[in-house]
Amino acid sequence: MTHQILRLDGRHSTVCIETEAGAAPVWRHYGARLGETAAGLMSAFEAAGLRRLAPASLDRLGGAPVFPCFGNGWPGAPALRASRDGRGPVQDLVLDRVERPGPQRAVLHLADPVSALAVRIFLELCPCCDVLSVRAELDNLGPGPLRVDALAAASVAVPPGLQEVGSHTGQWAHEFQWRREPVPAAGWCRENRTGRSSHAAPPACFLLGPATGEFAGEALGCQLAWSGNHRFALDRHDDGSLLLQAGEWLAPGEADLEAGATLATPAMHLAWSGRGLDGVSAAFHRFARRHVLRWPGGAMRPRPVHLNTWEAVYFDHDPETLRGLASQAAALGVERFVLDDGWFPARNHDRAGLGDWRPDPCKYPEGLGPLIAHVRALGMEFGLWVEPEMVNPDSGLFRAHPEWALQVEGRPLVLGRHQLVLDLSRPEVADDLFAQLDALLAGHPITYLKWDMNRDLAQACDGSGRAAWRNQTLAFYALLDRLRERHPQVEIESCASGGGRADLGVLARATRIWTSDNNDAAARVAIQSGALRLFPPEVLGAHVGPAPAHATGRVQGIDFRCAVACFGHMGVEANLLAMAPEERAALGGWLAFHKQWRGVLHGGAFHQGTSPSGLVWWLAQAGDRAVLAVITPDPPGFGCEPPLRLPPLGGTGGWRVRLVKQAGKPRARAEAGSPWLDALRGGGAWTTGEELALVGLPVPVMNAESVLVFTLEAD
C-alpha cells in the first residue's frame, strides 16, 4: 500500500483525501463524522483500484480529484486553465508532499515540472463550526509569463445523493430570493461579472438531496469569501456524483503571472450537515461570528438601533429639520443617527458631487460639527453615508483628474446612476480617498460609515488598458483595512444599492450588510429569510420604512413594519416628524422590545421554517430564552391553522410561552373568541420542547401582512 488517507475531523463532519506522492490527490469522503476505525476500505484500496476501465475510455483510472487539470486525461472541468503564450495548456499537478500544521489543518503541495507550475492547497476544518475552508496558491516557476484564464480554490466532492442545488437570485430591491432546482445532467454553472458580489448571483450555493428539508436530510453549503466577479460550477463525475468548484471569474489578462509570481484564490467555505438547511445555516452563522467578523474592541456590543435619514429627507438637508429628527429619534429610543446622502457639495440630486467628501457650505455653513454635537448631546452615536469608490463627472475631483476613473481609451464613458468608478488600484487615488475620509473621521466623533456602491463595473480597465476588475476588489479591501487600522473604533456598513455586496470577504472588514433598499415589510420577509440562510441576523440591516414604501408604493401598518424589522439589526428610515402620534408610540414600543430581546436575536441560534399553509416563522434561541415570529405574508391558505411545529425545540425542557406582540388581526367571525390566545397574552401557557417540536404551537389564522411574536422562557 503506497497511498495514505489524509483525515480532518470536525464535530459532526469528516474529510478524507487519498494522497500518494507522484499522484493527484482524490476525495474519498466528505460528509458525516466517521468513527476512528471506520476507514478500513479507504486505507486498504486506492480509489483507482475500485474502478474498472469503461468501454471507449482512456487507459487511465482515478477518483474525484481535489485539483483536476486540463488536457491530460481528465474529461471534467479543470481547476486551472493556463498557458504560456498560447503554448503548454496541458498540466498534470501531482502531490509532492503533505504538510500538517495542526490536527484540523493540511497543506497539499502539488507540482508539475513539465509546466513549471506549483500549487498549494490549504485545507482547514474548524472543529467548533464544522466549516471546511479551502483555498489555493499558484506559483509560476517558469522562465516566462503565465496566462491564467481560470483558477478555482479546488474541486470538492459532493456526497452522491445530493442532486439538487439551492441558490439565491434577485435584482435591486428584490435580493436573496431562494431557488431550488435539480442539477441538470450536464451540470450547473453560475457566473457573476458585475464587479461586486451582485444582486442576481451572490457567491453561495447549497447542495441538497430530494428529501432534504429545513431540519432533516443531508445538505452541503458553500460560500466564497470574495466581493467581486465569481464563478460556481457543478461538474458531473463519471459515477454520477458532482464536483463543486468555486473561485474568481477572471477577465482576460487580469491574472497573468510573471516568472516567480504567485496568484492566490479567495477561500471557499463549506458546511456539511445531516440535519438539513438549518444545520448548514447554523454552521455559517457560527463561522461568521467566531472567525470572520472583527468587532471594534474585539467583541460585539449591543447593536445600536439606527435612524437613517435617507427615506426621511432624501437630498433635502436642512440642519433645523435634522436636529428635530434627531431629537424625536432619541425620544423613541434610537441609539445611532446616520446622516445619509446629500451632505456634501452640489449634492441636491444624484448627478453631482461624488468625489468631494467635505460638508456642503450651503447646507452646513458651520460644517457637520453642530449637528454631530446635537446628536451626541442626545445620547446617540453619529454615522455618515459615503460612496468613496465613485465619482460624478460633475465634481471637483473629476474635473481635476478625469484619468482617475476606470475607462477604455477611445470609447465613450459608460455611466451608471450618473457616476463613474474610480481606479482604486492607482496609489494616488487610494491615497486621496484615504486622506479625505481620514480627515472626516479624525475631525469629528464619527463612529460609523455607511459605505455605499451604487453601480456595476463597466470598462474596468486601468491606465495601461489592462482589465482591473480583480485589482479593484483587492484595492477596495486594502482601503477598508487601512481605514480600520487608523480608526479601529469605527464600524463600516457594506451597502451596494442594497444587498449588492454581501459576502464573507466584505464581512471580514465590515460589521453590517444593508440587506436591501426595499423597506416594504411584505417584500422584506423573503429578502431577510434568504439572507439569513447565509448570515447571522445581527449583521443584516432591517429598517422600519415609511408608508407607502419607497421601493414598491405599498402601504403596511406600523406594527407589521416594526415586527419584520425587529428580526435583524433594527433601524428606522422614515420621517418621524411626519408620523402620527399613535404611530410614533407604537414604534417606540417595538424599539424597546427589540432592545430587550436583542441579546437573544443577535447572539442566539437562529432557525427558520414555513408551514404547509404558507406561514413563515423565525426563531432565535439563546439558552433559556427564545423569541418567535409567526408571519402571514400573504392571504391565508387554510380556514383553520394547524399547530405550528418547531423542530429546533425538540429535546429542550419546559417553556412558558407568551404572546407579547401582534401586527394585524385574526381572520375570524367577530363573535369568535379565543380563550387560549387571551391566556397567552396574560400569564402565558406552559409546554415542553417535545410538544412544540412534535405536536406544535396552536396559532390562529391571521389576515395577510400579520405577525404574532411570542417569547419563550425556560420554566
What nine digits make up the cell of 9? 475531523
Query: Can you say whether residue 705 is alpha, beta or left, with left for phi > 0 and alpha for psi between -120 and 50 degrees?
Result: left
In 403-559 the beta strands, taken as DSSP E runs, fall at 420-421, 448-451, 491-494, 512-514, 540-544
Which entry of 235, 452, 456, 559 is annotated as an active-site residue? 452
The CB density around residue 365, as the number of other CB atoms within 10 Å, is 10
- For 302, the 3-state DSSP assignment is coil
Strand partners, 121: 108, 136
Query: Measured between alpha carbons, how far is 42 from 38 in angstroms, rounded to an integer?
Result: 9
Q: Which amino acid does the sequence have at 215?
A: F
- φ and ψ at residue 231, rounded to 5 degrees: -140, 130
Instruction: Answer yes or no: are the C-beta atoms of 48 and 29 closer than 8 Å.
Output: no
The CB density around residue 602, as the number of other CB atoms within 10 Å, is 22
Cβ-proximal residues to 552 (8 Å cutoff; 6+ apart), any chain: 173, 518, 520, 523
Which entry of 92, 517, 520, 559 is annotated as an active-site residue? 517
- φ and ψ at residue 522, rounded to 5 degrees: -65, -45
Our answer to whether residue 517 is catalytic in this structure is yes
Cα-based distances in Å from 527 to 200, 539, 564, 594 = 12, 14, 11, 20
The CB density around residue 115, as the number of other CB atoms within 10 Å, is 22
- For 627, the 3-state DSSP assignment is strand
- The number of angstroms, rounded, from the C-alpha of 29 to the middle of its chain's C-alpha atoms is 27
- The number of angstroms, rounded, from the C-alpha of 537 to the middle of its chain's C-alpha atoms is 11
What nine digits make up the cell of 639? 380556514
Query: Measured between alpha carbons, how far is 683 from 675 in angstroms, rounded to an integer?
Result: 12
What nine digits make up the cell of 389? 469608490
Query: What's the DSSP call for residue 159?
Result: P
Query: Measured between alpha carbons, how far is 708 from 112 in angstroms, rounded to an integer?
Result: 61
Q: Which residues are catalytic?
A: 452, 517
